[in-house]
Amino acid sequence: MDIQPFKDMIEGMRMDLHKTRYQTFDELYEYCYRVAGTVGLMTMPVMGIDPSYKGPMDVVYKAALALGTANQLTNILRDVGEDARERNRIYLPMEDLHQFGLTEQDVLGAVHVPSQGKVSEKWRAFMKFQIARARQCFADAESGVDQLEAKARWPVWSALILYRQILDAIEKNDYDNFSQRAYVSKAKKMASLPLALTRALLPQHRG
């Protein structure tokens, strides 16, 4: 196993000691890679690759990075209110906020002065953009999951499907991630496991 992902994860933890704002998505992506993308790189050698896969390994590793990034972006979008209120952290690119006519103070203000569970149209548009980005990362990860060793595919597909449903829950809450926490019910989680098993047993992307 390569030691570098372990070192990079430690650097990601250190970022949380001093960095509370991210100006660009590139900055945020570096954080997502360090705290989550590295997990994919660490676990790949443990889970293994399907013996029938003869394609380039970088495809699988890029997919692992995409899944880690997707999961972390989903965490960020779910926890906007909690991170701002309890930790004074905003894991949203400032340039993206500005693009949608929003500011840091809009985020902090919505946390401390909730408007009866309603958010502005600007915030809805901003969140739709962020959710689309996270969903694209999940989509980019799918082909790599299909190349994993057969026994590893079900848990990874389960994680992908269940985490992606958090994005659905944010939409269901009308993009209010200040006064409501998006979550997936236990019943829905259990109901998703057969779908994950089906995807694991019948991979759609084979190299």
3-state helix/strand/coil string of 45-84: HHHCECCCCCCCHHHHHHHHHHHHHHHHHHHHHHCHHHHH
Q: Which residues pair with 22 in a beta bridge?
A: 93
Q: 6-22 pLDDT, tens per residue?
A: 999 999 999 999 999 99
Q: What is the pLDDT of residues 32-48, one digit of tens each?
A: 999 999 999 999 999 99
pLDDT one-digit tens code per residue, 145-202: 999 999 999 999 999 999 999 999 999 999 999 988 999 999 999 999 999 999 999 9
Q: What is the pLDDT of residue 118?
A: 81
- 177 in Cβ contact with 78 (< 8 Å): yes
Q: Tell me which residue has tokens 């790599």.
A: 144
N- to C-terminal Cα separation, the chain: 23
Residue 114 to residue 49: CA distance in whole angstroms: 48
Level-2 CATH architecture, domain 4-201: Orthogonal Bundle (1.10)
pLDDT of residue 206: 63
Structure tokens at 127: 């969140």
13 close to 35: Cβ distance less than 8 angstroms: yes
Domain ranges of the chain: 4-201
Q: Which pair of structure tokens corresponds to residue 69?
A: 């990034």
